[in-house]
A and B are shown apart, each in its own frame.
Chain A
Amino acid sequence: MSLAHRIIPCLDTDGERVVKGINFVGLRDAGDPVALAARYNAEGADELVVLDIAASRDRRPTFLETIRRVAAELAIPLTAGGGIRTLEDGRAVVRAGADKITVNTAAVKRPELIFELSREFGAQAVVLAIDAKRGGNHWDVMVRGGRESASLDAIEWARTGVAAGAGEILLTSVDRDGTQSGFDVMLTAAISKAVNVPVIASGGAKSPGHFVEIFQEGAADAALAASIFHDGVQSIRTLKEFLAARGVEVRLPC
């Protein structure tokens, strides 16, 4: 009896429709978030993440409506984020039905945001998203959708964010994202070892073997992927059966 490793599909949206970037550029439409949410809920996904990657102010009401419609389909936890800049932004996504809030660029600019959200909703509801890119012998924190360096060391930032009240780290390898060449095992293991909160690995997943690797060697508590699930390259049910057969503890759907 121990915690199952979680498989988390991610819906990157423009507020309304699911899109997925290849290395964060060249977006293409991948579908209706509500239909995908219902499918993943039924297939045995352990959680769902919905991000507003456009995060433009005037489209915010559309994104909140998307969260509401997605939440209505789910009997599993929902994390939402993208463009969360203030406590009020956080309240709006929680009121719309999210169980957890992810923060990224705004938290780098103003780390107190993590503390404010954690004080109001509890650490279990605050997910610090870190986009990390290798630079020499360390990893740089990238902001603004992976385009700009924040001149921060990813390991240091993870520690700072946890001390400020983040209850989980959503760690995306900018180098691997969209490449389908596998998760960044070294990066994930380094962050997982540096903090005492769960780490969700993201970026680069394609084959079931990549998931075995990130759980067994990368010490990830959860793994997130988008396009391989949306495109049907990988079904969550088959992936979990594969993992279970290789000794990775997962929650098998009935």
Chain B
Amino acid sequence: MKAFVRLFARDVGLAFRHGGGAGLAIAFFVLAVTLFPLGIGPGPEILARVGAGVVWVAALLATLLSLDRLFQADYEDGSLDLLALTPLPLELTVLAKCAAHWATTGVPLLVAAPILALLLNLDVAGLGALLLAMLLGTPILSIVGAIGAALTVGVRRGGALLSILVLPLYVPVLIFGVAAIDGAISGLGAKPHLLVLGAFLLGALALGPWAAAASLRLNLD
């Protein structure tokens, strides 16, 4: 447990140090969302209609942006070998790195999302659902992304391959994330969609670290 916390703390610390790139995902997120009003025009009705989808799609892409360094940096400098040899099981190592990734990428997105949603004239009734859906959804993005990152570790220019592998797996999160917000706005309720997202999160937590650890072992061999 102590080792888990140490690894988590190191990864969070590294993300905020020189060249860590913690600000990258959030900057991309804000920029990508602000491009939409410029691209499709400032009509409040259109923006309100597409707002939920725009925020979610931008969040998926922003998460992808930071995923390729999740294991790659440790692989390149030999740290991954040593991490595989520590008493901490590799599955928990993966989970600690996912948690650190979420804390440095998912949480900033979560904080920025309501502000950006208001900017897009999203109905205020949908804000609570947006927050809850992102709270459940962003950890899934980190964990599922870790599987892709583990599969492509050691691959030159693996970032592009990673996007192609992982984006299709993000589709369910996108669908239910947007549906939750639409449900809250239309008055049908967001609960069923949030429950499905919660189920996805539990599934990802249960399976993701094992899948990612297995792929890392393959790539270390």
Q: Are both chains from one complex?
A: no
Q: Chain A residues in contact with chain B, CB under 8 A?
A: none
